[in-house]
Amino acid sequence: MRTAILCFFSAMLGAAVILVVSDRAPLFPQAQAQVQSRRPAARPVSAPPVVPSGPILDEPDLDRFARADEINAEELTAEEVVNVAVYEKVNKSVVHLTTKGIRADAVFLLDLPTEGAGSGSVLDLDGHILTNYHVVQEARQVNVLFADGKAYDAKFIGADQINDIAVIRVDAPKEILVPVQFADSRRLKVGMRVFALGNPFGLERTLTTGIISSLNRSLPLHANRTIKQIIQIDAAINPGNSGGPLLDTKGRLIGMNTAIASKTGQSSGVGFAIASNTIARIVPQLIANGKVTRPEIGISRVYETERGLLIARLVEGGPAELAGLRGPMVASRRRGPFNVETIDRSAADLIVAMDGEPVLTADDFLGYIESKDPGDQITLTVVRGGRELKVAVELIAGE
């Protein structure tokens, strides 16, 4: 009897639970139908509200997507504002170069076609383009692609192989020529933010950012010579960036990207750029004459010593000889049927400074001379017979 009573109450309680659940949500439609069929007609159950199984999403704001390129400055960080401003200012000044040339095959004695790519910067409204010498040195045809998608064949104007600088020219409408603005590279500081703009791997007008890692580096390039005042950066530089501009935060050219330190040929965070002041000194000569007229001092050879540079040979009638500088003393003696020359190098002047700056290597010597112009006067400090003397020498135009 007790068991029967418990079963009765359990059944009644289960029915009550079913009624409560079914009134709240249609979780089990079949069970709900059965319950409704048992209810009196006078108490109809209204249809429950439809509850979605997921969150309700608003309709997409198509107008906002259409205005995605009109980003307000308020939506950008201060750093992003500078990045965007630099790119928009200089983007149209940067061009994409593609080159075609012929390379001789040493095995089959055939001329093989070659192709290359690089970057360049518009210099003026006459269509002059700045790039690296190594980008165009073997090219027979150079094609220049502008930001508007139009391409023009370029003509070679001139180059300075030692400093890896070249100028080409295109006959393009002035409205698409946007010259880049130069800055004074003497004002650069390590840690300053920089931007590299170019065409790495053929990807047009790509912007990368970084800082100046070091200044006044020396970079060996051609003919056992080195470029002075090289800027070292950590911005990504890759094949195709060569010849493109290195920019400051105002979008001004402070250098030209020229090389990377890499074992794989790709960026390793160590890039190099030719300083803008070096470019500004050489480019006008290339445009005017097609070559660089280098100043000449009239010293054709020196020996490097721990104390300075010992003059090994003077150009006869050159500026150094006319200024009174001395080279080795050469004496000729006859021994039997032969004339024997003896060279007394102790009689030569030892150059220890130029305009008060110490000099120890031939490259330092040549670099300082090349930083001057024909007609400039420099003062050499030399040691002669154990005494220091100062000798003024006026430079002339070399060949």
Residues catalogued as catalytic: 134, 164, 242
Question: Helix, strand or coil for residue 283?
Answer: helix
Of 315, 281, 325, 326, nearest to 396 by C-alpha is: 315
Write the CB contacts of 390 (distance below 8 Å, at least 6 apart in sequence). Answer: 379, 380, 381, 382
Tokens of 303: 């020996």
Q: DSSP string covering 348-387, please?
A: S-EEEEETTEE--SHHHHHHHHHTS-TT-EEEEEEEETTE
The span from the CA of 163 to the CA of 208, in Å, is 24
Write the CB contacts of 359 (distance below 8 Å, at least 6 apart in sequence). Answer: 308, 309, 351, 352, 353, 365, 368
Q: DSSP string covering 218-233, please?
A: EEE-STT-EEEEEEEE
Strands 139-145, 193-198: parallel, antiparallel or unpaired by DSSP? unpaired
The span from the CA of 37 to the CA of 62, in Å, is 49
Assess contact for 131 and 118: CB atoms under 8 A: yes
What distances in angstroms separate CA 217 from CA 109, 205, 233, 275, one per listed residue? 40, 27, 11, 10
What distances in angstroms separate CA 180 from CA 128, 172, 243, 297, one per listed residue? 11, 16, 13, 35
What distances in angstroms separate CA 389 from CA 44, 150, 166, one per listed residue? 121, 61, 40
Of 232, 228, 205, 393, nearest to 311 by C-alpha is: 393
Assess contact for 258 and 118: CB atoms under 8 A: no
Write the CB contacts of 320 (distance below 8 Å, at least 6 apart in sequence). Answer: 297, 298, 299, 311, 314, 393
The span from the CA of 309 to the CA of 346, in Å, is 12
Question: In 53-126, which residue ranges form alpha helices assigned H by DSSP?
Answer: 62-66, 78-90
